[in-house]
């Protein structure tokens, strides 16, 4: 999982602390590498789905409060979060408008849970509408990923 400087996901930020101005857009990309021993036809069978992504004020994903950007595979606020790719390949991407959590400039950490979905046996593309369907896809949960800290810059200067 990486943070990117631009909306075409070609320039990742270096690992470690990232400083962004409040009100900027955070671009997050995730990809899964397939092992060499896996046949190409088998590799095309699975896709990555973003299940949940949220921010906390510490590196621990269990700490509260948790500010969700993506919940149950769908943006928690469509005016601030846009899922650009999920459930269609071995990569997933989304962008989120950054804002101050609880009105202050504390560091935040981003936590995302992903799953590998078998697209031969179920539909893996999330359907996000006002009414949520309870369909169960054949997915394998992956390890929770965490990046950060993300630090807020108080001005663009």
Give pLDDT tens digits for 93-103.
Answer: 999 987 656 56
Say what the pTM is.
Answer: 0.83
Cα 37 to Cα 33, 34, 117: the distances in Å are 12, 8, 19
Contact, 90 vs 131, CB < 8 A?
Answer: no
Mean pLDDT of 26-30: 93
CATH number of 2-153: 2.60.40.4100
Each residue of 57-75: pLDDT tens digit? Answer: 889 999 998 989 999 999 9
* Count of CB atoms situated within 10 Å of the CB of 26: 20
The enclosing H or E element of 17 equals none
What is residue 49's predicted lDDT score, i.e. its pLDDT?
93
């Amino acid at each position: 999982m990486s943070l990117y400087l631009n909306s075409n996901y070609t320039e990742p930020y270096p690992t470690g602390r990232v400083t962004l101005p409040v009100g900027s857009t955070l671009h997050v990309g995730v990809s899964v590498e397939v092992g060499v021993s896996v046949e190409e036809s088998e590799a095309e069978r699975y896709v990555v789905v973003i299940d949940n992504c949220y921010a906390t004020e510490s590196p621990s994903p269990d700490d509260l409060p948790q500010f969700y950007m993506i919940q149950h595979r769908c943006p928690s606020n469509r005016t601030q979060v846009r899922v650009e790719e999920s459930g269609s390949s071995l990569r997933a991407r989304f962008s989120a408008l950054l804002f101050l959590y609880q009105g202050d400039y504390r560091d935040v950490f981003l936590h995302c849970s992903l799953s590998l979905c078998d697209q031969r046996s179920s539909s893996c593309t999330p359907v996000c509408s006002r009414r949520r369907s309870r369909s169960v896809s054949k997915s394998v949960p992956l390890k929770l990923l965490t990046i950060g800290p993300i630090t807020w810059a108080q001005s663009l200067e």
